[in-house]
Structure formats: structure tokens, C-alpha cells
Structure 1
């Protein structure tokens, strides 16, 4: 049991990695073709532009971190165990955003819900209860993207 009288959520952060300077930029081709049921022969005629994933996913390098998730409390939001979250600590947490929060010294990923001026951390799995705001809760960063292997 934690300070809120509920069992701890197994969706915890297992790794934290900063987005560091000096990472080589690797622009990859972005094809200007919408894929529905197949993919055309990848010919240069279809290349719309080149895309660098660092530029696309990391807006504030000094404040951005990658975290790996374990657990299943956020599956309704498309976040699964083993996924890597891109977290920006420079963004203000707001109602409805998915955040990384510190609850009783542990990092967890939840949706921030504001109700009657009070913060609640909500799982995106009905098997996990809400975590009401308390003295032991603080938002660590805002999730901006999810990297999910298929």
C-alpha cells in the first residue's frame, strides 16, 4: 500500500536517458505516398522530403529525456510495457496531458486530470484506480511521444 491507501501501480519507469547533444543526425526518406494496404516500389519519385527523427521528436534537447515503461496501466492510451516515452520537462503540465509524475518517491506515467482545482493522476486501464494529488505527488515532465515496436 502507498500513501493513498492503494496498491502501487506496476507501470513504473525502468530507465531514464537524456537526449544529449552531439547525436548524429540521420535524415531518412519520407515518402509522399499514403499507404493503405500496400507500399509501392520505393523509388526516388515518391520521396517527399528527408526526415530526422531527432528534429521531429525532440523540441527542447536540454529538457528532454527518454524513459522506458513497464506495466499495463496506460494501455488505453496506446502505451505498453517496453515502450519508450519521450518526456519534455520544459512543458507545463495541463489537464488531459500524459505526464511522468513522482508519487511517494516513485516515477509513474499517468494522465493528468484537473477536477475542482485538484490534480488527479488517472490510469488508462480501468483495473487501476485514480491517484489523488497529495503532498507526495509532483509532475516531473510531459510525455510528447511514444516509441512502440510492432
Structure 2
């Protein structure tokens, strides 16, 4: 696994786990009242196959900070990022801005771009010609510890 660490994100490249598939119970698990016992239809589930659509352009990054808590991205969460996906308004993106990586929601209106945090304690960032700016990839999933 390749690891790159910055002040705001730590990046990892995915490595396909060979022979590692968790058992998957394809019956649904009730979050209300339990249903009567029934035979479970078990299958094997690969998280790589569930979370990664474009293997060559997908990376993981660990969140460092609180600017996206309103979007459900908490400190130390693991993001799945696809560099092949097209950036679009309202997508959550990992961006390279003035020498640092950051994760924010994209706001695009005609020829203007803003990076919007999902925490009112952080300012909205308007991208100008003076910024060194690159949309590095689009967040497709978040993996949390409970």
C-alpha cells in the first residue's frame, strides 16, 4: 500500500485483497422488531467490488478535521475517491488548493467555483485566478468506525 500524508488528508492506494471476502447475509437485518428466525441465504461479499468502480483511478484518504461534519465526514473517516468521475455542482470533492489538499462540497455557477464546508465554523472559499487549484477527485463513499 502506498501512503502519502498531508496536513489535511492521508492518501492510500487500494490493493485488492485476494481471497478476502466477508460472509454476506442476504436477508436484510431489521433495525426494528426482530423477525422470526429464517434460513439465511449466505453469499460472499467483496468490499472492493462494492466500493470501487474504477480500480486504476480510485484512492483512499483519511479525513483530518471537522469542516465537513454536516455532510457526515468526520475526523479520521476513510474516504473512497474516484479521479475518473467528472466534477459537478454539489459533489463532494478532494481538491488541491494552494499547496494543500482539502475536501469540500463543490459549488459551481457559470464560470465561478466555490468550495463549501459543511460546518458553519469554516468559511466558504471562492476560487480565483490567483489560486493554485485542481479538483483531484470525487468522493464516492465514506467508511466509518462505530
Q: TM-score, normalised by structure 1?
A: 0.82
User: 1:67 and 2:42 equivalent?
Assistant: no
Q: Which residue number in structure 1 is paired with residue 26 of structure 2?
A: 31
Task: Trace 1:36-51 onto structure 2 (pairs within 5 A).
Answer: 36-37=31-32, 45-47=39-41, 49-51=43-45
User: 1:146 and 2:107 equivalent?
Assistant: no
Task: Give the C-alpha shift of residue 63 in structure 1.
Answer: 0.4
Q: What are structure 1's unaligned runs of at least 5 residues?
A: 1-10
Runs of 4+, deviation exceeding 4 Å: 38-43
Q: What are structure 2's unaligned runs of at least 5 residues?
A: 1-6
Q: Which residue number in structure 1 is paired with residue 87 of structure 2?
A: 93
Distance 1:66 1:41 in 2: 39
Task: Give the C-alpha shift of residue 52 in structure 1.
Answer: 1.3
Conserved 8 A contact 1:99-1:140: yes
Task: Give the C-alpha shift of residue 49 in structure 1.
Answer: 4.0
Conserved 8 A contact 2:23-2:42: no
Q: Which residue number in structure 1 is paired with residue 3 of structure 2?
A: none
Count the aligned residue pairs. Answer: 137
